[in-house]
């Protein structure tokens, strides 16, 4: 029998709005879209340190050791899927609803059970198509740490939970979905607007201001070093080493915010390129960097083969 234990974790639940209607219209096309969307979601979940626990029908459940990374994964997912759906007809869009809860769960093998999971599933069911709803336990952890807005939705009634669970919609953009969220018992507040989602191509085209400032500072420092080297020229281009270091720092900063590739594997690739650059800048007729690069490649291969 599998060992049973408990743990505190962040539960991420997602499913597709109107999946039955989509399957009734085009089974093969809907299944292909579902697989594509799940692959993107799984990649983003992994890149934020989470793991996919189970999939069933149109649903998916994952858990994260970090509450902040769970919300970031949800936002990145909805942004990427918004870009995918923007190229599809309105009646054929695959819109996911996501619910996130921080709670104590029972762990049995690779599965998790308990009220923490039930609450996440109920939050997901109450989300708008293309939206995200989080519990108050998640909101308390992320409200000052994630660059999104929040709208209080009132208490959400959950089976086997005596008191309503306060819930919040994550506001990603300004556009509004026309699909209203499910009615909430015990809430006197008016129905909230759905959590809007910014198209993926718009999100990727606008890097974070912090990232732009960092890249600008690094570029200025590199330019100043090159100018100093040229003005004090003594036959040696010593600025190439600090400029290479600044390039590696810039690449690592980009990797921290990107969602296209696995971040750990990309970090290893950046390290390998940095070593190759050092080898070329100190060239003595021997490509000694091949050995550390081979070791890094092996580590990347192991990491890739162990991904979920």
pLDDT tens digit sequence for 279-297: 998 888 899 989 999 998 8
Q: State the average pLDDT over residues 196-214.
A: 48
Chain centroid to CA 219? 28
Total residues found in the chain within this entry: 308
Tokens of 58: 């149109």
Task: Indicate the DSSP class of residue 235.
Answer: S
Residue 31 scores a pLDDT above 50: yes
Q: What is the pLDDT of residues 87-110, one digit of tens each?
A: 888 888 899 999 999 999 998 888
Whether 308 and 51 have beta carbons less than 8 Å apart is answered as: yes
Query: Which residues pair with residue 156 across a beta bridge?
Result: 165
Cα gap 263→101, rounded to integer Å: 25
Q: Give the phi and the psi of residue 8 in degrees, each rounded to 5.
A: -95, 125
pLDDT of residue 67: 95
Q: What DSSP designation does 257 have?
A: H
Structure tokens given for 204: 């990727």
Nearest of 50, 38, 51, 34 to residue 77 by alpha carbon: 38
The pLDDT of residue 181 = 43
* pLDDT of 72: 95
Confidence grade of residue 5 (pLDDT, cut at 50, 70, 90):
confident
* Most confident region among 135-139, 153-157, 193-197, 236-240 by mean pLDDT: 135-139
Task: Read off the tokens for 199.
Answer: 């198209």
User: Buried (b) or exposed (e) across 149-168, using 16+ Cβ within 10 A?
Assistant: ebeebbbbebeeeeeebbbb
């Amino acid at each position: 029998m599998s060992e049973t234990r408990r743990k505190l974790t962040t539960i991420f639940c997602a499913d597709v709005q109107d999946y039955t209607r989509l399957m009734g219209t085009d089974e093969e096309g809907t299944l292909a879209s579902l697989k594509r969307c799940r692959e993107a979601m799984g990649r983003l979940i992994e890149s934020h340190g989470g793991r996919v626990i189970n999939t069933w029908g149109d649903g998916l459940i994952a858990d994260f050791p970090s509450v902040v990374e769970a919300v970031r994964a949800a936002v990145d997912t909805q942004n990427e899927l918004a870009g995918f759906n923007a190229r599809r007809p309105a009646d054929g869009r695959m819109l996911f609803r996501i619910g996130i809860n921080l709670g104590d769960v029972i762990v049995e093998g690779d599965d998790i059970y308990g009220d923490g999971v039930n609450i996440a599933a109920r939050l997901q069911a109450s989300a708008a198509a293309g939206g995200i709803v989080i519990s108050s336990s998640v909101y308390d952890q992320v409200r000052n740490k994630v660059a999104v807005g929040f709208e209080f939705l009132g208490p959400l009634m959950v089976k086997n939970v005596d008191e309503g669970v306060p819930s919040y919609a994550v506001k990603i953009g300004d556009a509004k979905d026309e699909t209203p969220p499910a009615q909430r018992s015990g809430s006197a507040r008016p129905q909230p607007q759905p959590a809007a989602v910014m198209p993926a191509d718009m999100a990727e085209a606008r890097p974070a201001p912090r990232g732009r400032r960092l890249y600008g500072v690094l570029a200025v420092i590199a330019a100043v070093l090159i100018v100093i080297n040229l003005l004090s020229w003594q036959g040696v281009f010593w600025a190439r080493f600090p400029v290479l270091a600044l390039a590696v720092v810039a690449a690592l900063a980009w990797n921290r915010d990107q969602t296209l590739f696995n971040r750990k594997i990309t970090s290893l690739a950046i390290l390998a390129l940095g070593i190759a650059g050092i080898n070329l800048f100190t060239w003595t007729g021997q490509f000694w960097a091949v050995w550390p690069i081979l070791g890094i490649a092996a580590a990347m291969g192991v990491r890739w083969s162990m991904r979920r």
